[in-house]
Structure 1
Amino acid sequence: MGTHLAVHGGTPVRGARPWPRWPRPAPGAGEALADVLTSGRWSIASPHTGEPTRERRFAAEFAAYLGTGHCVPTASGTAALMTALEACGTGAGDEVIVPALSWAATASTVLGVNAVPVFADVRPDTLCLDPAAVEAAITPATKAIVVVHLYSALADLDALQAIAGRHGLALVEDAAQAHGAGYRGLKAGTFGDVGTFSMHHTKVLTSGEGGAAVTDDPQLARRIEHLRADGRVRGTAAPVAGLPELVETGELMGSNRCLSEFQSALLSAQLTELDAQNAVRRDNAALLDRLLGDDLGLVPQRTSPHTTERTYFGYAVRLPDHVVEAVPATAVAEAVTAELGLHVRPVYQPLYASPLYDPASRPRFAISPDHLKRVDPAPYDLPVAHHANRSFLTFHHSALLGTTADIHDIAEAFGRVLDHHTHLTH
């Protein structure tokens, strides 16, 4: 091909030097897990041992960290979203407005409560839900709005709170990619009726799998507790050693979506490292913004006004227009990946075009021909989300935990590929 790009057999920028490993265990994580191992209690449904559960301890710690009244840990971020939607009264036939650009669970959880996802376009700079698109999508059937803070950006919470309030809609704030981020000096996840988090392997606060729903409303918290523990909640009386701590109230049927004691103990340890790790990512991202933006003409993802603390689940950057017009983003991503040994890829496909969102593939959603028609994603074609997938690339936050030399490697790789981008059209 006449280039020295690694994808064409040239010497890569990075070579075999490893990137920072993720996840990385916090000090004390091993001891915390060993303590659970010998505790005689691996689940909150196990008999009480005389000590508070690890799950209860993490819930209190995370609520205090966020500055919210209640935290209910869950088995996953998906479980947190589903229980949040149900707790807010969302059900069969209701419409829920969701961003067109997000992970599949943003829409599949809406389907999971028999509601109808309605896709709204995103802003071209933040890639987060566009308030104007939300306003235009509201119908008499609309019950809730799910706002997602994506990659490293926070959505326009001022505008979305105002819209939800004006129309009497529940606002569910998906902060699965924004642990520790701040807006107007308050933590992300505390602005909606319910905030939800994922603690999946990829997230900046992780226990491999896991999640949490947070709220200031005690009634919503109680509903979420029922929904994630087969209709059981902790009793009001002091627990007795050897007896179950969960009480069968009969108030609300639920499912088993509880977090294990191992995961809870691990999260308590990992939480102590979150702010320091976020600070390292933020500093390295600022350096990369300068190297890619000022020197190479790429445009880093922006965040909404009033963001006071930015966090990075993924670093996202828009390719120059002349590159996007000449070569697919997938080809640029493949070439940068070859230079770095770091997985660089386009941002999410629009949900309505994603192979991970296909209601017709699940018989459980064939409630009626009318319902299948309402959840069919085929009619959607939202230009900003579509263009974002064609023009933005992203990589995982773990690379931002490296040194300034690592950041310069990333910039050098992008520069090398952009210099030879016309050779990538094969």
Structure 2
Amino acid sequence: MKSTLETLAIDGGEKTVQTTFPWPIYDENEVQAVAEVIRSGRWANPDCGEAVAAFEQEFAAYCGTKYAVSCVNGSVSLRLALMACGVKPGDEVIVPPYTFIATASTVLEVNCVPVFVDIDPETYNLDPKAIEAAITERTKVIIPVHFAGLACNMDAIMDIAHRHNLKVIEDAAHAHGAEYKGRKLGSIGDAGSFSFQSSKNLTSGEGGIVVTNDENLYRMMASLRNVGRMEGGQWYDHFNPGCNYRITQMQAVLLSQQLKRLEEQTVLRNNNGLYLNELLADIDGITPLSRGDGEIRHCYHLYIFKYDSSAFGPLSRSEFVARLSAEGVPCSTGYPHPLYTQPVFQNRNFMCYAIPESVDYTSVHCPIAERACRDEAVWIFQHAMLGSREDMRAFAEAIRKIQRVVSQS
């Protein structure tokens, strides 16, 4: 008897995953909070910024820091932190090549030189050994990115920073609620930068914030965010070269409501990630990323696994992801190229005066990041990680189904 072949959803078969995963998640509490601000007519900040100050205090307390400075987005939060750390034109800042452009472009915006350092093949986070090798007399800051919500090896990074007298700005845009050895990410370095853009685990559509325990950094970032004004000064007194990077009262109350959901959501994502690791561990050609060293809590802004096409017959990674998406798994191949291959770096379109002519990104080569971008990485999005254990089983079954069909063809 001839066996019945399965049909993939991309070819007209039934989807393996029937659940939809909405984002953002909200209810009448968010609607009412924003409506109350609108009805009050007190929309502005800072002259009517009580809700903004309240959210900053709430978020700092959640992260375990003394201070927080909100701003218009996560890119600006990185720039504020860099400026407050005292970088000078031509200084070098170590960044990973496997991250969103803002991690590096904000370095250019403050007239500094991004130095790209390769990632660890097991975690896709900055490799501490590569950091040490990249330090020069011009290095001033390290920006470790807690990519996908997974903690970098912060013990090693902070040790390097202390030995070389460097500042550490944690790019925690993916890492709301994640932890490293009992400490919230963003609270370990000199400053921690977060994004509230629409895809993020804590969102108000747009927005950002920087947390710190350093009072001097806090005061400078607060001034830069508020057109250079200083506490105790007059409205038209401007002490520093800042701009208006303030968020609104409506964003603040929305974030305060969303923050109430974050802890429960983070625990759920972490537990689902652990379970999905177990489910995928025995599928040939699929390797979940390591969760790093030490005690961590992963917030899975992205669940990432490495794909080996040799276990899936003729399917390239893009063909595999197209089939997995059709089966109902919200997923992507992620970044197509490491940052240093982007035209802004290859063509030196810097629009600033301090990058030495000797800086040449055409010769940069980070093989681990290149392999992740070209062949390896598959991302499952954070809102899907808020599903049930049954959904996680369906994700794994979708992968197995693709493998079975490929092996039968």
Shared fold by TM > 0.5?
A: yes
Whole-angstrom CA distance in 2 between matches of 1:159 and 1:334: 38
Q: Work out whether residues 336 and 414 of structure 1, in 8 Å CA contact, stay in contact via their aligned partners in 2.
A: yes
Query: Counterparts in 2 of 1:10-409, with a 5 A limit?
Result: 10-14=12-16, 17-25=18-26, 28-45=29-46, 47-48=47-48, 53-235=50-232, 247-296=235-284, 298-320=286-308, 322-323=310-311, 327-340=315-328, 342-347=330-335, 349-354=337-342, 357-358=344-345, 360=347, 362=349, 364-365=351-352, 367=353, 371=356, 374=359, 376-389=360-373, 390-409=375-394
Q: CA shift at 1:25, angstroms?
A: 1.3
- CA offsets 1:320-360 (integer angstroms, 9 cap, x no match): 363489643222111211222623324563111246x5474
- CA offsets 1:374-402 (integer angstroms, 9 cap, x no match): 2x432111111111222120021101112
CA, structure 1 residues 14+324, in 2 after alignment: closer, same or farther (shift >3 Å)? closer
Q: Work out whether residues 147 and 171 of structure 1, in 8 Å CA contact, stay in contact via their aligned partners in 2.
A: yes
Task: Kindly report structure 1 stretches of 4+ aligned residues shifted beyond 6 Å.
Answer: none
Q: Work out whether residues 26 and 269 of structure 1, in 8 Å CA contact, stay in contact via their aligned partners in 2.
A: no
CA, structure 1 residues 83+343, in 2 after alignment: closer, same or farther (shift >3 Å)? same
CA, structure 1 residues 402+78, in 2 after alignment: closer, same or farther (shift >3 Å)? same
CA, structure 1 residues 155+341, in 2 after alignment: closer, same or farther (shift >3 Å)? closer
RMSD, aligned CA:
2.4
Whole-angstrom CA distance in 2 between matches of 1:172 and 1:229: 21
- CA offsets 1:359-382 (integer angstroms, 9 cap, x no match): 7474624x37x63652x4321111
Whole-angstrom CA distance in 2 between matches of 1:364 and 1:423: 55
Q: CA shift at 1:423, angstroms?
A: 9.7
SS in 2 for 1:151: helix
The normalised TM-score by structure 2 is: 0.92
Q: Work out whether residues 359 and 372 of structure 1, in 8 Å CA contact, stay in contact via their aligned partners in 2.
A: no
Q: CA shift at 1:292, angstroms?
A: 1.1
Q: Work out whether residues 323 and 421 of structure 1, in 8 Å CA contact, stay in contact via their aligned partners in 2.
A: no
Aligned-residue sequence identity (percent) comes to 36
- The amino acid of 1:311's aligned partner reads C
Q: Work out whether residues 147 and 173 of structure 1, in 8 Å CA contact, stay in contact via their aligned partners in 2.
A: yes
| Number of corresponding residues | 404
Q: Work out whether residues 233 and 247 of structure 1, in 8 Å CA contact, stay in contact via their aligned partners in 2.
A: no
CA, structure 1 residues 326+143, in 2 after alignment: closer, same or farther (shift >3 Å)? farther
Task: Note the residue ranges of structure 1 that are not aligned, 5 or more in a row.
Answer: 237-245
Q: CA shift at 1:27, angstroms?
A: 5.5
Q: CA shift at 1:104, angstroms?
A: 0.9
- The amino acid of 2:12's aligned partner reads G
Whole-angstrom CA distance in 2 between matches of 1:372 and 1:25: 50
